[in-house]
Amino acid sequence: MSDIRISGIDKSYGQTQVLRQVSLSIEAGEFVAVLGPSGCGKTTLLRCLAGFEKLNGGRIEIGGGTVSAPGRHLAPEHRGIGVVFQNYAL
């Protein structure tokens, strides 16, 4: 597993700002839980990390390489990140 650095990311859908200046560092071997009430941006954060959403601002680095930043968006299949979303059918 690589280190993950999320630095000041912003994400909006139209006029609604969902993530504002979110920063997080995850060291290799660490486990992290993202908790919060419905609608607070948890899924959006994971979608940005996985590359399913483009950022409006900030930077995401995985293993020392920038995968998301202004003018940079590495496709999800090239990030080496897996995401399994909770679902009623699981």
Whole-number Å distance between alpha carbons of 33 and 43 = 12
pTM of the entire structure?
0.89
Q: Domains of the chain (ranges plus CATH)? A: 4-76 (3.40.50.300)
Give pLDDT tens digits for 46-88: 999 999 999 999 999 999 999 999 999 999 999 998 888 776 6
Q: What is the pLDDT of residue 82?
A: 85
Q: What percent of the chain has pLDDT over 90?
A: 83
Q: What is the pLDDT of residue 51?
A: 96
Q: What is the pLDDT of residue 65?
A: 95
Across 1-90, the runs of DSSP E, i.e. the strands, are 4-13, 16-26, 57-62, 65-69, 72-73
